Chains A and B, each alone.
Chain A
Amino acid sequence: EADIYQTPRYLVIGTGKKITLECSQTMGHDKMYWYQQDPGMELHLIHYSYGVNSTEKGDLSSESTVSRIRTEHFPLTLESARPSHTSQYLCASSEQGQILGDRPGELFFGEGSRLTVL
């Protein structure tokens, strides 16, 4: 079982509020990721990090920001939430990149944070 945790699991807030989705892993993984998933749709990478003080934007443009001050912690922040931000946000981590010779890195997901912005 993966030791990666997300809080809150569910959040309903009003437009304009600032929110932070927390993600922590106890596996000592350097690489962490945030994905966005809408019902019936594929996961889209919105942010990733190779390690402490490293953050990069993913393929899907997002108004959210992330930080990586500690290896185990990768929070996602929305400064001013809007209804268009309503979605499921999934955090993941891996020990190495998805490629390592012939042995791809295992990707572990958290349980997700479902955000609803009214």
Chain B
Amino acid sequence: KNQVEQSPQSLIILEGKNCTLQCNYTVSPFSNLRWYKQDTGRGPVSLTIMTFSENTKSNGRYTATLDADTKQSSLHITASQLSDSASYICVVSDRGSTLGRLYFGRGTQLTVWP
């Protein structure tokens, strides 16, 4: 069964600290992995997209890594800010159809305290 598991479920850190969010997946055949940021009550916004051949991608203070062999990804946030408080969702796409079936994780709820 294709699944996407994220950990931790929730995380609280102090402003200025770094943190790393984890995503493990069993989706096969793998096409790409995305990280989204979803503020409370808003729609998800894309942070990074990585294909099989990419093992790291950065977007400002966000750096995503991908290990396609172990089917793991991480999202590292550097020098956290209060505005980083949000849910971070890992999404994996398969190559089973032209639409590309998307498998969503439940997200990690990050809270940044001043």
Contact = CB atoms under 8 A, between A and B. Distances in A.
Contacts, number: 69
Most buried by A among B51, B99, B109: B99
Contact of A41 (B44, B97, B106): B106
A98 B100 contact: yes
B43 A110 contact: yes
Nearest to B44: A109
A114 B46 CA distance: 21
B41 A42 contact: no
A81 interface: no
Contacts of A50: 99
B46 A107 contact: yes
A99 B23 CA distance: 21
B104 A106 contact: no
Interface residues of B, number: 27
A75 to B, nearest CB: 17
B106 A104 contact: no
A99 B100 contact: yes
Contacts of A108: 46
A111 interface: yes
Contacts of B53: 102
B32 interface: yes
B93 interface: yes
Given A42-B105, A102-B51, A97 B100 contact: yes
Contact of B99 (A43, A48, A92, A114): A48
Given A99-B100, A103-B51, 20 more contacts: A31-B99, A40-B106, A40-B107, A40-B109, A42-B4, A43-B104, A45-B102, A90-B43, A98-B93, A98-B102, A99-B31, A99-B95, A99-B98, A99-B99, A104-B31, A104-B34, A104-B100, A105-B100, A110-B43, A111-B42
The 7 closest A-B pairs by CB, nearest first: A98-B100, A109-B43, A42-B104, A99-B100, A104-B32, A43-B104, A98-B93
Interface of A: 2, 6, 31, 40-45, 48, 50, 90, 92, 97-99, 102-112, 114
